[in-house]
Amino acid sequence: MKYGMTTELEEFRTEVRDFVTRHAPDIAPKAGVRSAENAAELALLKEWTRALFAAGYVGGSWPREFGGNGDSHRLEQDIIVGEEISRRRAPAPIQGAGNLVAHAIIDHGTDEQKNKYLKGIRTGEVMFCQLFSEPGAGSDLASLRTRATRDDGGFRITGQKVWTTNGQWADYGYLLARTDPDVPKHKGISAFLIDMRSPGVDVRPLREMTGTADFNEVFLDDVAVGADALIGQAGAGWMIANSSLAHERSGVANNAVRLRRNVAALIELAGTVHRHGRPAIEDAVVVDRIGELSASVEALSALVYAGLTRVSRNDSRVIDAPMSKLMFSELGVEIASFALELCAESGVVVAGDGCVDHGRWQDEFLYARAYTIAGGSSEIMRNIIAERGLGLPR
Ligand X SMILES: Cc1cc2nc3c(=O)[nH]c(=O)nc-3n(C[C@H](O)[C@H](O)[C@H](O)COP(=O)(O)OP(=O)(O)OC[C@H]3O[C@@H](n4cnc5c(N)ncnc54)[C@H](O)[C@@H]3O)c2cc1C
Paired with 134 in beta bridges are 137
Does 377 engage in binding with ligand X (CB under 6 A)?
Answer: yes
Does 215 engage in binding with ligand X (CB under 6 A)?
Answer: yes
Does 380 engage in binding with ligand X (CB under 6 A)?
Answer: yes
Does 383 engage in binding with ligand X (CB under 6 A)?
Answer: yes
Binds ligand X (CB under 6 A): choice among 146, 164, 179, 301: 164
Rounded to the nearest whole angstrom, what is the least distance from the CB of residue 239 to ligand X in the complex? 17
First to last CA, the chain: 40
Rounded to the nearest whole angstrom, what is the least distance from the CB of residue 371 to ligand X in the complex? 8
Q: Which one of 103-111, 144-152, 351-359, 366-374 is the stretch in contact with ligand X (CB under 6 A)?
A: 366-374
Binds ligand X (CB under 6 A): choice among 49, 99, 165, 255: 165
Buried/exposed code over 159-188 (b: 16+ C-beta within 10 A; e: otherwise)? bbbbbbbbbbbbebbbbbbbbbeeeebeeb
Give the torsion through C-alpha atoms of 224, 124, 119, 10, to 10 deg.
-140
Taking the C-alpha atoms of residue 177 and residue 1, their distance in angstroms, rounded to an integer, is 45
**Radius of gyration of the chain from its Cα atoms, rounded to whole angstroms:** 22
Rounded to the nearest whole angstrom, what is the least distance from the CB of residue 138 to ligand X in the complex? 2
Which residues, in sequence order, are CB contacts of 341 under 8 Å at separation 6+? 347
Q: Which one of 14-22, 222-230, 243-251, 370-378 is the stretch in contact with ligand X (CB under 6 A)?
A: 370-378
Does 328 engage in binding with ligand X (CB under 6 A)?
Answer: no
Does 250 engage in binding with ligand X (CB under 6 A)?
Answer: no
Give the torsion through C-alpha atoms of 325, 361, 214, 114, to 10 deg.
-50
Q: Tell me 191's DSSP state.
A: E
In the complex with ligand X, the residue whose CB is nearer, 333 or 374, is 374
Q: Which one of 38-46, 106-114, 290-298, 378-386 is the stretch in contact with ligand X (CB under 6 A)?
A: 378-386
Residues from 114 through 143 that contact ligand X (CB under 6 A) = 130, 132-133, 138-139
Asked if residue 90 lies in contact with residue 136, where contact means CB atoms within 8 angstroms, the answer is no
Binding site for ligand X (CB under 6 A): 130, 132-133, 138-139, 163-165, 215, 370, 373-374, 376-377, 379-380, 383
